[in-house]
Amino acid sequence: MPAKSRILIVDDHPVVRWGISQMVNQEADLHICCEAGTVEEALRARAACRHDLAIVDISLAGVSGISLVKSIRAVDPKLPILIMSMHDETIYAERALRAGARGYIMKHEAPDNVLKAIRQTLAGDIYVSDKMRLKLLEQMFDDGSDAIDSPVAKLSDTELEVMRLIGRGLSTREISALMNRSIKTIEAHRSNIKEKLQLRTSLELVRFSARWIEQSI
């Protein structure tokens, strides 16, 4: 029998890791070899366990999956990474690919599509949904005159991460410590986010961020 492809799964919900493991381990060519619930656990697992693919969620406790992708790519640029998330692919898929992921799939997709994404990413190809593929192709030929569909798409990766943490109820000081940035830098990001989203007060920013998190789950 040929060796199974070994897969690391990173998700902060144990029941989600269990469900994906149950699905994947039924396949003759795939095996979940290790799991992680945080960025720190994922980096330790990457060093301790040989695997052929990492499946990473975006919404991890603390630093986001996008940041984890960048960290993994910095030390293991050849490891293919598939993002599996509930977050809107039109906002996150392109960011994930820019960070170094090889694919992006939504968690509500059918199991057959998830397995297809896993195998396609393992094969060295890039996987996104047909809808997202069409959007990316349209952007290639866009003259830049069309308006961006969502105001959140205007945010940089760092600003989006700050907004996600604001939505989870973290203070500026807590975000500063978590992201290892100065309080002044986080305050500048908050100001830029409010300007780009046309929000007037910090309370409006907190409410918008919390609603965004709720809609993405």
Q: How many domains does the chain have?
A: 2
The whole model's pTM is what?
Answer: 0.77
Q: Bridge partners of 127?
A: 103
| Pair (133, 159) in one structural domain | no
Q: What CATH code is carried by the domain that includes residue 168?
A: 1.10.10.10
Tell me what pLDDT residue 143 has. Answer: 54
Tell me what pLDDT residue 210 has. Answer: 87
Tell me what pLDDT residue 146 has. Answer: 47
Strands 81-85 and 30-36 turn out to be: unpaired
Question: Rounded to whole angstroms, what are the CA distances from 130 to 107, 134, 189?
Answer: 15, 6, 33
114, 139, 164 — which closes off a domain?
139
| Pair (158, 115) in one structural domain | no
92, 114, 139 — which closes off a domain?
139
Residue 71: strand, helix, or coil: helix
Q: What does each of the 217 residues of the chain score in pLDDT, given as a tens digit?
A: 568 999 999 999 999 999 999 999 999 999 999 999 988 898 899 888 889 999 999 888 767 788 889 888 888 889 999 999 888 788 888 889 999 999 999 999 999 999 999 999 999 999 999 888 888 887 777 655 444 556 788 888 889 889 988 988 889 999 998 888 899 999 999 999 999 999 999 999 999 888 877 666 5
Q: Which domain holds residue 161?
A: 151-216
| Pair (172, 117) in one structural domain | no
Q: What CATH code is carried by the domain that includes residue 108?
A: 3.40.50.2300
CB contact set of 101 (below 8 Å; sequence gap of 6+): 56, 69, 81, 82, 83
110, 139, 168 — which closes off a domain?
139
DSSP 62: S
| Pair (13, 98) in one structural domain | yes
Residue 217: strand, helix, or coil: coil
